[in-house]
Amino acid sequence: MQQHSDVIVIGAGFSGLYAVHKVRDELGLSVQGLDAAGGPGGTWWWNRYPGARCDIESIHYSYSFSDEIQREWRWSERYAAQPEILRYLEFVADKLKVREAFRYNARVTAMVWDESAKRWNVTTDDGGSYSARFIIAGGGNVGVPKSRAEFPGIDSFGGQVLSTSNWPKEGVDLTGKRVGVIGTGSTSVQMVPNLARQAAHITLFQRTPNYAVPLGNAKLDEDKQRWNAENWKQLRAKTRDRFMGVPLESPEPSALAASPEKRRERFDRLWKVGGFGVLASSYADVLTDEKANDTLAEYVREKIRDRVKDPKVAESLCPTDHPYGTKRPVLEADYYDMFNRDNVSLVDLRSSPLEEVTATGIRAGGKDHDLDVLVLATGFDAITGALMQMGIVGREGVKLTDRWAAGPQTYLGICSAKFPNLFYITGPTSAVVLYNNPMAIEDHVEFAAAAIKYTLDQGAATIEADETAERDWHKQVEGILHTTLMPRANSWYMGANVPGKPRAVFIFAGGAPLYRAMCADVVSHGYAGFRVGDAPAGRVPPMIQIDAAVAQVVGAMAMQDMKPLEDCTLEETRAAVESFALMQKPAPSSVRRIESTYPGPAGPRPMYIHRPEGLKGPLPVIVFIHGGGWVAGSIDMCSAACGSLAHELKAIVVAPSYRLAPEAPFPAATDDTYAALRWVSEVIGEYGGDPEQLIVMGDSAGGQLAAVAAQRARDEDGPRLMAQILLYPGIDAEARTASRVDYAGGPILSIAAAQGMWSAYLGDLSKASSPLASPNRAKSLAGLAPALVITSECDPFRDEGEDYARALEAAGVPTRLHRIEGMVHAAFYMSAFVPRAAEINQAIGRFLEAQRLPLKDVA
């Protein structure tokens, strides 16, 4: 007989135990749990091979949602072994009284959506039949071992075949046995030293050597255990603000920028501690820049050579075919020392390919290796395997296996179009695998529970990912993946470990803080990208619209604990804006920076003249006015960007400083910048500039100052301008535009921050009526210099800039408008990290060329 509930939870591991608790005890819904294993524990129920343990510190590799669980449970080791983790999960299951909510030894074989009833029908291999409105699938990402069929002849083997993921519960006595192990991933590296201590001989068959770093495990005495349990909040602070969801030290920005000595010092220090910190806390560019990665990869190879006595074996163990961190990083205790034992031999399957399993062992490279026991540590059909085996059929009879034939399609890695009311916990393309699993799981269970509640509160029957949102998500995740070195390896992250599995996008490689920010943005935009009941889905929120490289910048900012600008003091705002100097490519050495001053209305002020060397003048002259909301920014902050602009446009770029608010409020900044423009037009000939080819340019607040300067030049008998270039300018403090609503929360610039800056500049917002404050309010725009207005799609200032461009055009000013899709405010200052920031200078080059300036060889 079919059993009905509100929710079915699949899997009794970290995901399922929490999910049952959440929807049953907090939402008050009825729940049926199902698990193929004989009890709670998930991955930790199955993986009982000798040496199995977590490789994220247990204090972090555990739930954080319950103060009681945190305080009552004591971890006996820094990295707990499987029996202890299983005991922990059983303790949690009993504590939350969720053990009985599950039916065990029940594997899901079919899950079919009934559109008329708006319910899922689920069957299990023990003959069970269930129905529910919602499904929370927490089947785990490494639950489906790879097929033995990969090894021809395996069924003819006369000895015992063991699989690490289904190790006999009662253990195996290997005393006196000749044991062959295939695989050198995390599992094998944890296991084989233990087998080597017992077996007569171990033959390890290696296809790809791995970078293994010391785990640094230690027993914890009772005092330490108690202290850890009692101080968990302090210990786990910042957990979710770090890339991996572990409060590791933040990395330095660049391995290449550090001297070899400094680098080694840092690597040595992190190596001593061990664990993931060697990768995650060293340098931010090791996962994005191959040369940076190689500094660390070579360091690990050196350590391998130090540990393994036989140089030939050591060399076979040194990975050279993939950058470090692009395969699942492996952590070890005495793995490398094991190769110094007499009873261990390594077979390199690259030079001696595995031919077949015979009745007596393995034949590789023409040689027979006699074995009594063969252990498969060959990994999993990871990430999608479990879902693909559940017989899932969604709306309109669409099978998940068909829809994902070329790779998984999801929105946020949580839901998929055509499969309403089905939530994956740490599903494909979520922050899965690079994000400390219990933390990732808690996030997803909480997301799913909140989404179910939202759906019910709306009186809707269904919540379903929209196909367009799914495509946008995929584009974003793929873009982020390709900013990293991950695609360089044949890893299970890429689907490359299973024959026939498509190489596709399976993981979100931008880290936990960025991923969490994206999910939060979806929720704060009313579950944008989801169809709830009959209501159409809203467009994906800004965090998913933005360019992938920009997203990485936003993620990095989140990890640096940067406060939102609107919450900053004036000093903090100035420091934050100044930090944009670190995001620019260095100015080319062919551009000379001359430090000068100009006579401002309140006395002389510094200015930088960026002059390309070796070019015959007279050169065009750009007076560039930096942004920073009239309260921040400096000629140092924008100097590298000005140097690059000078180089690319073969122009002199002059950056004047100006007085900042609130110390010097409106109209000080416009008076200074206009004075600078006049002065430059008079003296620039001495520097090889052509006063007849004078351009005023600025970004953000500087864009507003440039637009005002162009008007003053017209109205106050100032210099004749060839052009004005306004980069995502703020035009009107009181603008009421759609982009101010759509991008009110940023990223990068929020309306709250922008309004704070406008207020600081104007003092009194009624001053916005002056055209010196709001250039769009001038009596006439006719007769102004030709204009290029560049806007960023995901910027609250976008529409006021574009409205101004249209108004200029309507007034007869030759105007070009260039919008950069997916780009954000301040993109001009992100050239080192955002390749598409180059579009700005390219657009300027094309525009100036069209003004018939002699800039023939610009791009």
**3-class SS shares of the chain: helix, strand, coil, % to 5:** 40, 20, 40
Q: Is 343 in the site for ligand NA7 (CB under 6 A)?
A: no
Q: Closest distance between ligand NA7 and the C-beta of residue 395, in Å?
A: 33
If binding means CB under 6 A, how many residues of this protein chain bind ligand NA7? 20
Cβ proximity to ligand NA7: between 187 and 416 the closer is 187
Q: Closest distance between ligand NA7 and the C-beta of residue 337, in Å?
A: 19
Per-residue tokens: 850: 């069209």
Q: How far is CA 855 from CA 358, 615, 677, 851, in A?
A: 73, 12, 22, 10
DSSP-assigned beta bridge partners for residue 356: 363
Cβ proximity to ligand NA7: between 440 and 449 the closer is 440
Judged on CB neighbours under 10 Å (0-12, 13-18, 19+), 212 is buried
Of 424-443, binders to ligand NA7 (CB under 6 A) are none
Please select the residue that binds ligand NA7; options are 27, 112, 256, 349, rule is CB under 6 A.
349
Cβ proximity to ligand NA7: between 34 and 142 the closer is 142
Of 625-664, binders to ligand NA7 (CB under 6 A) are none
The half-sphere exposure of 849 on its side-chain side, counting CA atoms within 13 A, is 14
Of 150-179, binders to ligand NA7 (CB under 6 A) are 150
Q: Closest distance between ligand NA7 and the C-beta of residue 498, in Å?
A: 8
Find the part of the chain contacting ligand NA7 (CB under 6 A) among 181-189, 626-634, 641-649, 652-660. Answer: 181-189
Q: Is 421 in the site for ligand NA7 (CB under 6 A)?
A: no
Q: Which single residue is written with the structure tokens 């309010």?
A: 777
Find the part of the chain contacting ligand NA7 (CB under 6 A) among 107-115, 180-188, 239-247, 403-411. Answer: 180-188
Task: Return the closest-CA partner of residue 413 out of 544, 305, 503.
Answer: 544
Q: Is 185 in the site for ligand NA7 (CB under 6 A)?
A: yes
Q: Which single residue is written with the structure tokens 């990871």?
A: 382
Q: Closest distance between ligand NA7 and the C-beta of residue 13, in Å?
A: 12
Q: Closest distance between ligand NA7 and the C-beta of residue 409, in Å?
A: 23
Cβ proximity to ligand NA7: between 155 and 682 the closer is 155
Q: Is 184 in the site for ligand NA7 (CB under 6 A)?
A: yes
Report H helices in 582-667: 639-649
DSSP-assigned beta bridge partners for residue 593: 610
Element (H, E) at 574: helix 570-578
Phi-psi region of 464 (alpha: psi -120 to 50; beta: other; left: phi over 0): beta
Residue 765 three-state SS: helix
Q: Are 564 and 646 in contact (CB under 8 A)?
A: no
Kindly report whether the peptide bond that precedes residue 311 is cis, defined as omega within 30 degrees of 0: no
Q: Closest distance between ligand NA7 and the C-beta of residue 814, in Å?
A: 60
Per-residue tokens: 199: 């077996």
Q: Are 371 and 360 in contact (CB under 8 A)?
A: yes
Cβ proximity to ligand NA7: between 151 and 674 the closer is 151
Stretch 190-219: interaction string toward ligand NA7, x if CB under 6 A: -----------------xx-----------
Q: Closest distance between ligand NA7 and the C-beta of residue 88, in Å?
A: 17
Q: Closest distance between ligand NA7 and the C-beta of residue 364, in Å?
A: 10
DSSP-assigned beta bridge partners for residue 175: 199
Q: Is 239 in the site for ligand NA7 (CB under 6 A)?
A: no
Q: Are 693 and 618 in contact (CB under 8 A)?
A: yes
Q: Are 697 and 722 in contact (CB under 8 A)?
A: no
- Distance separating alpha carbons of residues 711 and 708, to the nearest angstrom: 5
Q: How far is CA 502 from CA 413, 484, 492, in A?
A: 17, 20, 11
Q: Are 205 and 364 in contact (CB under 8 A)?
A: yes
Q: Is 673 in the site for ligand NA7 (CB under 6 A)?
A: no
Q: Is 355 in the site for ligand NA7 (CB under 6 A)?
A: no
Find the part of the chain contacting ligand NA7 (CB under 6 A) among 186-194, 257-265, 419-427, 768-776. Answer: 186-194
Q: Which residue of this chain has its Cβ atom nearest to ligand NA7 in the complex?
A: 185
Q: Closest distance between ligand NA7 and the C-beta of residue 304, in Å?
A: 16
Report H helices in 257-334: 260-273, 277-280, 290-307, 311-317
Please select the residue that binds ligand NA7; options are 142, 314, 400, 722, rule is CB under 6 A.
142
Q: Closest distance between ligand NA7 and the C-beta of residue 380, in Å?
A: 6
Cβ proximity to ligand NA7: between 436 and 774 the closer is 436
Q: Are 692 and 685 in contact (CB under 8 A)?
A: no
Q: Is 15 in the site for ligand NA7 (CB under 6 A)?
A: no
Q: Is 186 in the site for ligand NA7 (CB under 6 A)?
A: yes
Please select the residue that binds ligand NA7; options are 58, 188, 552, 711, rule is CB under 6 A.
188
The letter for the amino acid at 555 is G
Report CA dihedral (470, 473, 474, 476) to the nearest 10 degrees: 160
Please select the residue that binds ligand NA7; options are 492, 527, 728, 847, rule is CB under 6 A.
492
Q: What is the DSSP string of 518-563?
A: HHHHHHHTTSTTEEETTSPPPPPPHHHHS-HHHHHHHHHHHHTTPP
Find the part of the chain contacting ligand NA7 (CB under 6 A) among 90-98, 185-193, 564-572, 589-597. Answer: 185-193
Sheet holding 787-794, edge to edge: 591-600, 603-612, 652-656, 619-625, 689-699, 723-727, 787-794, 815-824
Please select the residue that binds ligand NA7; options are 13, 40, 138, 183, rule is CB under 6 A.
183
Stretch 785-814: interaction string toward ligand NA7, x if CB under 6 A: ------------------------------
- Distance separating alpha carbons of residues 545 and 521, to the nearest angstrom: 11
Beta strands (DSSP E) in 613-729 are 619-625, 652-656, 689-699, 723-727
Q: Closest distance between ligand NA7 and the C-beta of residue 137, in Å?
A: 19
Q: Are 37 and 105 in contact (CB under 8 A)?
A: yes
Q: Closest distance between ligand NA7 and the C-beta of residue 448, in Å?
A: 22
- Distance separating alpha carbons of residues 54 and 88, to the nearest angstrom: 13
The letter for the amino acid at 503 is R
Cβ proximity to ligand NA7: between 375 and 675 the closer is 375
Q: Closest distance between ligand NA7 and the C-beta of residue 459, in Å?
A: 41
Specify the DSSP class assigned to residue 121.
E
The answer for residues whose C-beta is within 8 angstroms of residue 88's C-beta and 6 or more apart is 62, 73, 75, 80
Q: Closest distance between ligand NA7 and the C-beta of residue 311, in Å?
A: 22
Specify the DSSP class assigned to residue 631.
T
Cβ proximity to ligand NA7: between 507 and 725 the closer is 507
Q: Closest distance between ligand NA7 and the C-beta of residue 89, in Å?
A: 16
Q: Is 354 in the site for ligand NA7 (CB under 6 A)?
A: yes
Q: Is 182 in the site for ligand NA7 (CB under 6 A)?
A: yes
- Distance separating alpha carbons of residues 835 and 221, to the nearest angstrom: 51
- How many other C-beta atoms are found inside a 10 Å radius of the C-beta of residue 594? 12
Stretch 26-55: interaction string toward ligand NA7, x if CB under 6 A: ------------------------------
Q: Closest distance between ligand NA7 and the C-beta of residue 375, in Å?
A: 11
Stretch 363-392: interaction string toward ligand NA7, x if CB under 6 A: --------------xxxx------------
Of 316-335, binders to ligand NA7 (CB under 6 A) are 328
Please select the residue that binds ligand NA7; options are 62, 358, 409, 497, rule is CB under 6 A.
497
The letter for the amino acid at 467 is E
Q: Closest distance between ligand NA7 and the C-beta of residue 302, in Å?
A: 22
Q: Closest distance between ligand NA7 and the C-beta of residue 508, in Å?
A: 16
Site for ligand NA7, rule CB under 6 A: 142, 150, 182-188, 207-208, 328, 349, 354, 377-380, 492, 497
